[in-house]
Structure 1
């Protein structure tokens, strides 16, 4: 009986050891795959930015406008790949990214595009979900100025009233071809994000008319104290 018991214990121990070895092997494989994925994620942007820098260096002497476009594109991509991965970003960064995007479009259209932009000089350390405002500006060019053959125009007014953000975007459209009420997939996505991230704290209105498209957004942002951030020092 004792011999049989020792044999069963040995077999059970061997089975347990094999199971543990298999578990350890699987964990090691998963860790290796995760590390490889992380390395690839670092490698691809590195290769991309190196390529853009090379294009910028080669284009600068002969095509300075194209070189500036490449430089601006690299800045936007860097923001989208790195800064925009956080749940919240500084409103000043988001506004800076919007202005950089508008500058790229202004360069592309040249003097043909009439553009009026107003943004707050002081964003009061406020934070916002990243890339939340960009679809409204992209929509201007995708469904608006790109369809206007003569005198394309847009107006962007971004203001702060306390910690409430007020955005108004108006752009011209081709007569007889107004933008749909939904504004396309981009605005449908941002509507969903607003509903999930700022429930009961926003109001979004879009209006399509014969020759213009209007978007107004009112968004209540968290004050810095609610996010555990130090209050800004008072100005002299």
Structure 2
């Protein structure tokens, strides 16, 4: 990792020097034009290499010391003083190279004051781009690192919250089903043993498969069917369930237990409260990654209002917000004599 970073820095400075040499080629003076293009390029390249240390020093000082230790700590006055001090040292170091370099490249000494204000200002315009790159790169790198950290924390928080909601939902489901089994057992109902067997299959599914972030839709449909059969054992002929399915891809991934939660809610508050025949209508459609789910159950009086505030529904609504943000629509309608849920999810972006 360190060697890769070193190679990246070497590549950066190589490109930097080459670009500056090309720039000098384009704006060469009369004395430089006397040389052939290739020789002229290498003269400018050698010149840039000679001046490079006085650009590298303030670059790395700014990048690795000044910005992280002072500027980010809001010590702006100290940062400015340090910056000015290093800049002055580098300006004079840069200008000190002019005389020997002129003798090496042109065989003569400059006929002007290399430390004049005009020359120092020219040098400053040569160093500033490197410092601007350093400051921009460091601040941008820090910003990106901060955003990545924030995103990681946000995802960790969402995962923790989602796991907490699942941890609440599973016992909630088990508690409700055990209550139903208890009612059968008290009456010595012959369906008690088959109901326990079906419940064990459902719980095995919940424990072993639903820890994943997604499962095939076919698995969710199978567990819904098993749950409906479990409820049929309880309600016998009183229960009439219409479960319509139009699925173009049974293996399409979907978050586990989302649909089952609405079905369980319909039986708990719909079938459980009904005094006569129980009609529950379920429609599930998946076409080209668009999932549409609708369930309607009977509900009387104040129970419909209570349904919208239960723990089960609250949990599944929050799970939808976490798993499918901006990609789902949920409509819950407590109406006269019935309770309906309409759910639409765009699964095309959900890869599990």
TM-score (norm 2): 0.44
Work out the CA distance in 1 between the residues paired with 2:341 and 2:189.
36
Moved over 4 A (4+): none
Gap runs ≥5 in structure 1: 1-61, 229-236
Q: Where does 1:204-223 land on structure 2 (aligned, <5 Å)?
A: 204-222=330-348
Q: Indicate yes or no: 2:251 matched with 1:125.
A: yes
* Residues 1:77 and 1:124: Cα distance change in structure 2 (over 3 Å): closer
Q: Deviations over 1:160-203 (max 9, x none)?
A: 12111100000011246433362411111111111111011100
Bigger strand fraction:
1
Task: Report the structure number with the largest CA radius of gyration.
Answer: 2
Cα separation, 2, equivalents of 1:115 and 1:163: 26
Tell me if structure 1 keeps the 8 A contact 2:296–2:338: yes
Higher helix residue share? 2
Q: Partner of 1:203 in structure 2?
A: 329
Larger relative contact order, structure 1 or 2 (CA cutoff 8 Å, min sep 6): 1
Asked if the contact 1:173/1:179 (under 8 Å) is kept, the reply is: no
- 1:208 CA displacement: 0.3
8 A contact 1:176–1:210 mirrored in 2: no
Alignment coverage as a number of residue pairs: 166
Whether 2:172 is the aligned partner of 1:172: answer no
List runs of 5+ in structure 2 lacking aligned partners: 1-187
Secondary structure, aligned partner of 1:165: strand
Are residue 111 (structure 1) and residue 237 (structure 2) matched? yes
Structure 2 CA distance, aligned partners of 1:110 and 1:202? 35
| RMSD of aligned residue pairs (Cα, Å) | 2.3
**Which residue pairs with 2:46 in the alignment?**
none
- Is 2:282 the counterpart of 1:150? no
TM-score with structure 1 length normalisation? 0.64
